[in-house]
Structure 1
Amino acid sequence: METLSSLLGPQPMMAMFLTIAIGYLLGEVNVKGFSLGVGAVLFVALFIGWLAPKSAPAPMVGTLGLALFLYAVGVQYGKQFFLGLTSSAGRKANLIALSGVLLAGVVSVLFLKMTNLETGHALGLFAGAGTSTPTLQAAIVKLGNDDPAVGYSVAYPLGVAGPILFLYVTFMLLKPKIEMPPGGGLELLEIAPQESALKGKTIGDLLASLPAGIEIAALRRAHHNLPATHSMALAANDVLLVTGPSREALEGAARQLGEVHEGRIMGDRRDLDYLRVFVSRPTVAGRALADLKLPDGKPHVVVQVRRGDADIVPKPDLVLEFGDRVGLLAHRDEFGALRKFFGDSIKGTAEFSYISIGLGMALGFLLGAINFPLPGIGKLALGLSGVLIVALVLGNMRRTGGLNWTIPLSANLVLRNLGLTLFLAQVGMSSGPKFAATVSQTGFLMIGLGAIVVVALVLPILVLGLGVFKMPFDEVAGIVAGACGNPAILAYSNKLAPTDKPDIAYAMIFPGMTIIKILFVDIVPAFLGG
């Protein structure tokens, strides 16, 4: 042990990356469906930190990692975040999360009277159970001592492992059905409408009567294929090329319109052929389809946009991002011009503006450093939550003039996972010695109290979300992750329910709940005389 400690102590970077490697290896161990995933990095880091205290990397490493994670999440889900706040479902999700956060705070305060716990220790348990470093910083500043760090170091590992265990047990007991988003590509079907369905109608009129998600991409008239537009009047003997999310949806449209005529359009590629291009030009990314000035020439039409593993219906207001794959129907003579227009480079899947991410992160740190005055209480600083708030705003704006704020999904995932891993490794290695010392001094008392605070935080959310409001499991898992705050919980939620709902709920919940936690530790000492 001493040899290993002396080897790792002078080499913090080597120790950190060794911690990451071992953590990911252990995270893949699966016991009856349960595995810690990236959360295992934290527990390996606690052990390495205890074994070799001098090996802990500088705090800036963890700050950078968490900031990268928060910025990547915010930029990707900014639009969904603001849409959620304006919806009844979004407000309900925030209230559910608030119930858990406030109950955890109340339980922490009760420990002050029941166990003669120090005010700092109680606030530290609250901050650690909610894995909120900004809350810990606020408590230390408010009390003027390091007592909160003791409770935080004990409760923090429980605040990561506890919610993960709750989600695992809930998932195994309920065995919820997760509705996966369609990712197999859009389906095509050629339909010849009945003449009674065509009289005096345009393609736009016809689409208004069809189910959502159904689009008409092209039509065949007089032995020629033409791109479809909403203003185009329909005529007898037209054959329509219809796209939809599933074969069943298209067959339903065929029963409504007429009969299937396969091979008329797709069998003749003289006028229109299929082309798929990557979006990699900065002048195209960040713009809506309706705003694009496609090259002049023979007619062409966008029929598909694929982002990550999902196909998106190409509505006029759809904003393109770097790395999107755009499917078009066009004449082969136009293929070269269209490839040049969109860029068509696979590098676009990992391309983003360092100017935008630099400005965005700088604005986030600036917002987090501002002290907002609170009458009768003092001042409030948002800390790293400022990075997330700015990223959410920029993600909703998507583009400002010539500056594109979005990050391609593949690059976003790399930044997010790298940031999360660095954060967990640094925090765990730094907390290892204090965690071990606290446990040895207080026995299991502090651990038991921390566990109760975690239960008070998570249980109300699960009961209200799943039991009272009957919400989908993946959405409730995201609310749990957002209320608890730790990225490892979000990562585990995504593993159990690989949809967008955990990420969206996390982005919608996390900023507000972080502010509530900070306010709590700022306000409570004023009433307790601490």
Structure 2
Amino acid sequence: MEWLSSALGPQPMMAMFLTIALGYLLGEVNIKGFSLGVGAVLFVALFMGWLVPKSAPAPMVGTLGLALFLYAVGVQYGKQFFLGLTSSAGRKANFIALTGVLLSGVVSVLFLKMTSLDLGHTLGLFAGAGTSTPTLQAAIVTLGNDDPAVGYSVAYPLGVAGPILFLYITFMVLKPKIEVPAGGGLELLEIAPNDAVIKGKTVGEVLAGLPAGIEIAALRRAHHNVPATHETALQPNDVLLVTGKNPETLQEAARQLGEVHEGRMTGDRRDLDYIRVFASRPAAVGRTLADLKLPDGKPHVLVHVRRGDAEIVPNANLVLEYGDRVGLLAHRDDFAALRKFFGDSIKGTAEFSYISIGLGMALGFLLGAINFPLPGIGKLALGLSGVLIVALILGNMRRTGGLNWTMPLSANLVLRNLGLTLFLAQVGMSSGPKFVNTVAQTGFLMIGLAAIVVAALVLPILLLGLGVFKMPYDEVAGIVAGACGNPAILAYSNKLTPTEKPDLGYAMIFPGMTIVKILFVDIVPALLSG
């Protein structure tokens, strides 16, 4: 392998990107539904670091990559995170997740007194069992060495496979009944209401008695289609265009109001036609629908917003983001003005403000550099968790004046995955030689201990969620995914329970538990040394 060392040793960037390519290739290998995904980059990087020790990139590459990952996660999930802190359901879910995370941390620290492992290895086991790359970085910085990367790399595969196995066994034993929502897009239904049902009422008053998730977008009156607002007074012989995501809910609305009357409204596009535009103009993005001042012209109505793969029934408090696809009913004469107002550029799905990300990252690094006094411990610096905290705050704010803090989901995913990949490649290549030596001495012991730490993380969540609080299985699966943090676990939860609850649970839990894990590896060394 002399030729390989000679070729890659002086070329760390070439070695790193070759590692990334091979890692993703390995990560796509699927064995009965299990794959390593981006985590495979770490294992290829460890091998590359052992094979060509001099090829490791500079540490700043890994720091930059992880900072980008944390910032993208925080901006994406900021709103859901703070919702989880303020709602009763969110606080209960965070408590359950916190119990599992702290118990796994305590178990990993107990191994210090029971085995020959050092602190770096045990903190690495904790980080790997929770598949938390930011925790690994925090442990490396706190201890000043790469020992945590060894424990992390041993525990990481179990941190992915273990929770999936626990979720599968629990699902097969309990056989929970999961109510799967029907329909993936927006559904339309024309309803001719009974005069007695709408007499003397406005659209808003009628909606108050209908199932949740229903909107009345337009109505047909005197052979013309006109937009409907909550203040619109209904008259006899009106036909309503009702929208929603669930066909069963729409049918229930039809049973309450009158009868289905298809074809009159959708077949007549003289007054209202459908147009869908991309939200890409800065003045329209980052504002609630109530604050949007649509261009003057003939009456029009905003029917739906599609964000990523999700269909959203609009409400006054919905904040538009770059790349949203906005569906409207309007007169064709106003189409050009509406396109100009929203921007209607597909570039909006990939663009974000470099001013906002620059300021946000700078504030995050500033917060991370501040030393906070902790009684009995000394001083604690948040490090890169400061970037995550600032990003969560900005993601919840969405917009400050003319500055948008959010970014399109597609751009967010690219930035997040790129950052995580760079960090895994750099830290793996730097710790490759030490990994091989340590695993050769204690490999089977560390694998067994890693399995125990994973069980200590997942089992309390399942027992508390399903046994004590009697929560639905899909909600608990989301909590498990958020506490463990790996997207593969979330994907498997969605496969078992194809509802939105795992995604919501993951979004509420993941950022907070990431901060808890980082603080744990920051504080524990100070406590043990004291």
CA change 1:436–1:296 in 2 (3 A) is same
Residue 204 of structure 2 corresponds to 204
Residue 259 of structure 1 corresponds to 259
- 1:310 offset after TM fit, Å? 1.4
Matched, 1:166 2:162: yes
- Deviations, residues 404-425 of structure 1 (Å, cap 9, x unaligned): 1110111111112222222222
- 1:400 offset after TM fit, Å? 0.3
Corresponding residue SS for 1:210: coil
Supply the distance in 1 between the matched residues of 2:527 and 2:246 (Cα, whole angstroms).
59
- 1:525 offset after TM fit, Å? 5.3
Supply the distance in 2 between the matched residues of 1:265 and 1:517 (Cα, whole angstroms).
55
Greater CA deviation, 114-123 or 388-397?
A: 114-123
Corresponding residue SS for 2:294: coil
1:22-421 correspondence runs (5 A): 22-115=22-115, 117-118=117-118, 122-123=122-123, 125-127=125-127, 129-130=129-130, 146=145, 149-150=146-147, 152-173=148-169, 174=171, 184-421=184-421
CA change 1:291–1:515 in 2 (3 A) is closer
Corresponding residue SS for 2:387: helix
Supply the distance in 2 between the matched residues of 1:259 and 1:137 (Cα, whole angstroms).
61
The answer to whether the 8 Å contact 2:158/2:451 transfers is: yes
CA change 1:496–1:397 in 2 (3 A) is same
**TM-score between both structures, scaled by the size of structure 2:** 0.90
CA change 1:249–1:9 in 2 (3 A) is same
Corresponding residue SS for 1:189: strand
Amino acid of the residue matched to residue 249 of structure 1?
Answer: T
- Deviations, residues 51-94 of structure 1 (Å, cap 9, x unaligned): 11111222222222221121111111111110111122222222
CA change 1:135–1:91 in 2 (3 A) is same
Identity of aligned residues (%): 80
- Deviations, residues 388-438 of structure 1 (Å, cap 9, x unaligned): 111111111000000011101111111122222222222222221111121
Residue 487 of structure 2 corresponds to 490
The answer to whether the 8 Å contact 1:191/1:259 transfers is: yes
Amino acid of the residue matched to residue 457 of structure 2?
Answer: L
Corresponding residue SS for 1:497: helix
**TM-score between both structures, scaled by the size of structure 1:** 0.90
Aligned length: 523
- 1:242 offset after TM fit, Å? 0.9
The answer to whether the 8 Å contact 1:134/1:382 transfers is: no
The answer to whether the 8 Å contact 1:279/1:344 transfers is: yes
CA change 1:292–1:182 in 2 (3 A) is farther
The answer to whether the 8 Å contact 1:482/1:506 transfers is: yes
CA change 1:227–1:456 in 2 (3 A) is same
The answer to whether the 8 Å contact 1:303/1:327 transfers is: yes
Corresponding residue SS for 2:327: strand
CA change 1:225–1:43 in 2 (3 A) is same
The answer to whether the 8 Å contact 2:126/2:152 transfers is: no
- 1:129 offset after TM fit, Å? 4.3
The answer to whether the 8 Å contact 2:163/2:458 transfers is: no
Amino acid of the residue matched to residue 16 of structure 2?
Answer: M
Supply the distance in 2 between the matched residues of 1:477 and 1:428 (Cα, whole angstroms).
30
- Deviations, residues 289-314 of structure 1 (Å, cap 9, x unaligned): 11111111211111111111111111
1:459-478 correspondence runs (5 A): 459-471=459-471, 475-478=475-478
Supply the distance in 1 between the matched residues of 2:24 and 2:139 (Cα, whole angstroms).
32
- 1:230 offset after TM fit, Å? 1.2
The answer to whether the 8 Å contact 2:79/2:396 transfers is: yes
- 1:259 offset after TM fit, Å? 1.3
- 1:493 offset after TM fit, Å? 2.3
Structure 1 vs Structure 2 CA RMSD: 2.7
The answer to whether the 8 Å contact 1:154/1:447 transfers is: no
Greater CA deviation, 495-504 or 427-436?
A: 495-504
CA change 1:302–1:142 in 2 (3 A) is closer
CA change 1:353–1:116 in 2 (3 A) is closer
Supply the distance in 2 between the matched residues of 1:321 and 1:67 (Cα, whole angstroms).
22
Amino acid of the residue matched to residue 35 of structure 1?
Answer: S
Residue 434 of structure 1 corresponds to 434
The answer to whether the 8 Å contact 2:81/2:512 transfers is: no
CA change 1:67–1:195 in 2 (3 A) is same
Greater CA deviation, 94-103 or 384-393?
A: 94-103
- Deviations, residues 219-255 of structure 1 (Å, cap 9, x unaligned): 1111111111111111111111111113222221111
CA change 1:125–1:261 in 2 (3 A) is closer
CA change 1:526–1:6 in 2 (3 A) is closer
CA change 1:431–1:482 in 2 (3 A) is farther
The answer to whether the 8 Å contact 1:131/1:484 transfers is: yes
- 1:267 offset after TM fit, Å? 1.4
The answer to whether the 8 Å contact 2:125/2:154 transfers is: no
- 1:332 offset after TM fit, Å? 1.0
Matched, 1:424 2:421: no
CA change 1:417–1:182 in 2 (3 A) is farther
